Structure 1
């Protein structure tokens, strides 16, 4: 998601994009990814985790290769949409594999620490890689670089991911629910990403968001009636799952906006080039890694609830510091470095407990469902939060052109701090000592019915030696 953004001007010049058409290089990915996450998560449970992983990796690699070789705007947009389809399966299957392979305790915490570190650091590394690759070898390399990564991941998955085996009948796909949630999510993301051109108060935006609300309400009604739902609504009554998704929604709203406005501030106010902007994000990456690695120890001492509270508060403090420090006379040392380290360390602390709480007490047969839900919260929060903060920044701008930009960015960072502070409050919904001793699931009947068919291929013993 991050590596492409810096290459957009070069794509526009080389392929002849219009200004409105260029945004669909980003939006096509966002629509496919956000719209299909819940379906991708459930397919993980139905088709098997290894099969889903291998197929999604292959599709992502082919889409990246095609996108790097196309010579038309439409071809690039189609390739980005195909990447989004593949990513909608890859994101939930990765988390599901961790939660069913590693037993609850230190082993799973370490695995979730690496998962959180990789996911969080990806945004910062993507900005750096996008700048370096675009300036050194052209925009096509930001897509082609995925091909060797996919080849390596595909080969590693063939060796290390246990084969799918099932002792009972496979769950059936809830086709009606899949159609409604995919349409609802896509319409929601479409309405949000187009607010930059149509505005929040326009008839187009209001109508699109209203249609999304109707589709999502219809999805909820269907899921309450079907025997094997795409999303068992009882998951949302389970406090750890509910708290994790609310926290992720607010965290992504603030974090996505901070990345976006930090990049604009460094390039449009401080005058950094693409590569320099990418390098300036490295401290953010360092903080994310450090926070993710420390999180398992903090969970053992503080519990998941208080690790999330502390992480959210530190992230909010970092964004508040950033809001106070940015200005036309700012510099990297006094306006960026300290706030980046503090905010990223706090955010990094959150990913391990979020991954744990988001799947806490969930039956193995619903691991993909819970993972898809958590990733959907991240995507919705990021899309809606970024669009809202763009509006906030535009409304707060005042003074000369550069001063207006700096004022708008500072206000957006301040709102991001409020969002992370609100996320810290949602962590208080978690039980005081969330852990493996709690009930397996919020719906014991569903647990006993669904966990047995996949118990064999989900065993921790099978995955641990690998």
Structure 2
């Protein structure tokens, strides 16, 4: 076999692996948002209360966030191929259980297990890419495609959820994952080679994962409950106290107890890692609630069907992909920091614009422009924040770093949605006090509440741009001739810092 044919075969295999990793990541992120347009159907089918319905979303995102770090570490220690297949199988089985759910508890439990499967699967997809694509420009392109698919999953969920709910049933938003998961497992067994970090100590910090997950659940539960109870009430203060205790215990475990800490706090000494995670936390808090609010606005205020509401998100999906492609090309030239200042500011301007919509608005005038702007800024941010979060990290901690940046995104999204929903509900309630609850009055107050939430979200997005200044100037120069060094060495040696 000639050298050229061997090279072509290698490139072909690499792009099959990229497609597989992108498909798996797309599924994971898709299931964060796909349920939004189907929530009313789930409520009528299984008898959820308004408060209980929120846990269909939160059960997934919280277990996903809490176990991502453990998933990344497990991929490093026990093999990326093995953990990838395990996560995909768990995710697919939980999807099947969700589609078959006959009770509220069964559905919420299936969503929690689905989130656990996603937490195992997601970091494995990124570490498989970073160990497969070792050459600088090829890695940038691969990360750009992966980031575009991950970002588009959030927006595409509304469209696919609308189609499946309107034409089949809400149960099919879960069933659709099963054949894709089976196909992914078959392909993974054929094309993926097993890689792991060679170490004599294979210790997983399960106690750390449980305490941080429990703390996050308690925190989000407390925030969500403020829609019913005051911040100073026992019903709010008790879960807040539990959250503080559990998160404090997590820090004690990481610094004093764990033999192999889930989150070595020394990782945050890197300005690139710490800055990227703060940016991602703020972006998640500012932007990921947008799809939730816009879905409710279009269906409950403008009267759109789930399918029409889903179609309305298509331009945002395109804008995310365009933004991710642009940032992948600009990253080697301008560096991560510049892109992470511009991207969040673009999104912040869109959020501020969106806050001006009205109960009698139209899609073209009130939603299309600001929605595309928000999504474009998000797409511009994903590739550089992923690169900055893993730049200079040793190969032995690649899974941890990728798990950490995904964790902060989900934490930001979960806490941000809970907080912004509370802001919107409080403002809506205050406008309806002492007035007749006519359809027009409720629609106007609801829209105003959403607008108030978007104002707060725009401020958080500006904070994300400010946090980007923490990150040192990092560029990925054009690769030199000769064989590429190992992935971990390459990140450490080729990153140029100002």
SS at match of 2:84: helix
Where does 1:161-310 land on structure 2 (aligned, <5 Å)?
A: 161-164=192-195, 167-225=198-256, 226-310=258-342
Alignment check: 8 A CA contact 1:245 1:358 kept: yes
- 1:193/1:94 CA distance change after superposition, 3 Å: farther
Deviation digits for residues 252-282 of structure 1, max 9, x if unmatched? 0111221111112212222211111100011
**Among residues 403, 416, 419, which one is paired with 2:457 in the alignment?**
416
**Who is 2:14 aligned against?**
none
Distance in 2, Cα, partners of 1:214 & 1:249: 22
State whether residues 388 and 474 of structure 2, in contact with CA within 8 Å, keep that contact through their aligned partners in structure 1: no
2:363 equivalent to 1:346: no
334, 341, 345: which one aligns with 2:365: 334
Q: Secondary structure at the match of 1:362?
A: coil
Tell whether the 8 Å contact from 1:253 to 1:419 is kept in structure 2 after alignment.
yes
Query: Distance in 2 between the 1:192 and 1:260 partners?
Result: 17
Deviation at 1:365, TM superposition (A): 1.3
Q: Which moved more, 1:33-42 or 1:82-91?
A: 33-42
1:3 lines up with 2:3 in the alignment: no
- Return the match for 2:350 from 318, 327, 336: 318
1:431 paired residue number: 472
From 176, 185, 192, the equivalent of 1:145 is 176
**Contact kept? 1:31, 1:190, Cα under 8 Å:** no
Deviation at 1:329, TM superposition (A): 2.6
Question: Do the aligned residues in 2 keep the contact of 1:308 with 1:424 (CA within 8 Å)?
Answer: yes
- SS of equivalent to 1:230: coil
CA deviations on 1:294-349 (whole Å, 9 max, x unpaired) are: 1112212221100111111111111111112x112311111111111111111101
Which one of the candidate residues 82, 103, 115 is aligned to 2:146? 115
Q: Partners of 1:94 and 1:195 in 2: how far apart?
A: 37
5+ residue gaps, structure 2: 1-31, 433-440, 479-484, 491-498
CA distance in 2, matches of 1:354, 1:348: 10
CA RMSD of aligned residues (A): 2.3
**Deviations 1:399-424 (CA, angstroms, capped at 9, x unpaired):** 62111112111111111111111101
1:391 is aligned to 2:432: no
1:319, 1:339 within 8 Å by CA — same for their partners in 2?
Answer: yes
Distance 1:95 1:167, change over 3 A: closer
- State the shift of 1:227 in Å: 4.4
Indicate if the aligned counterparts of 1:38 and 1:181 stay in contact, CA closer than 8 A: no
Normalising by structure 1, report the TM-score: 0.89
Counterpart among 46, 51, 58 of residue 15 in structure 1: 46
CA contact (8 A) 2:279 2:467 kept: yes
Instruction: Kindly state the Cα deviation for residue 435 of structure 1 after the two structures are TM-superposed.
Output: 5.0
Quick one: distance in 2 between partners of 1:395 and 1:193? 12
5+ residue gaps in structure 1? Answer: 438-454, 461-466
Cα shift at 1:170: 4.6
Do the aligned partners of 2:75 and 2:196 also contact (CA within 8 Å) in 1?
no
- Does the C-alpha gap of structure 1 residues 222 and 435 become closer, same or farther in structure 2, counting only changes over 3 Å? farther
2:407 matched to 1:366? no
**Residue-pair matches, total:** 442
CA distance in 2, matches of 1:66, 1:329: 41
Change (3 A) 1:410 1:12: closer
CA distance in 2, matches of 1:48, 1:199: 47
Distance 1:200 1:390, change over 3 A: farther
Instruction: State how far apart, in whole Å, the 2-side matches of 1:272 and 1:43 are.
Output: 44
* C-alpha deviation, 1:213, in angstroms: 2.0
- Whole-angstrom CA distance in 1 between matches of 2:372 and 2:269: 35
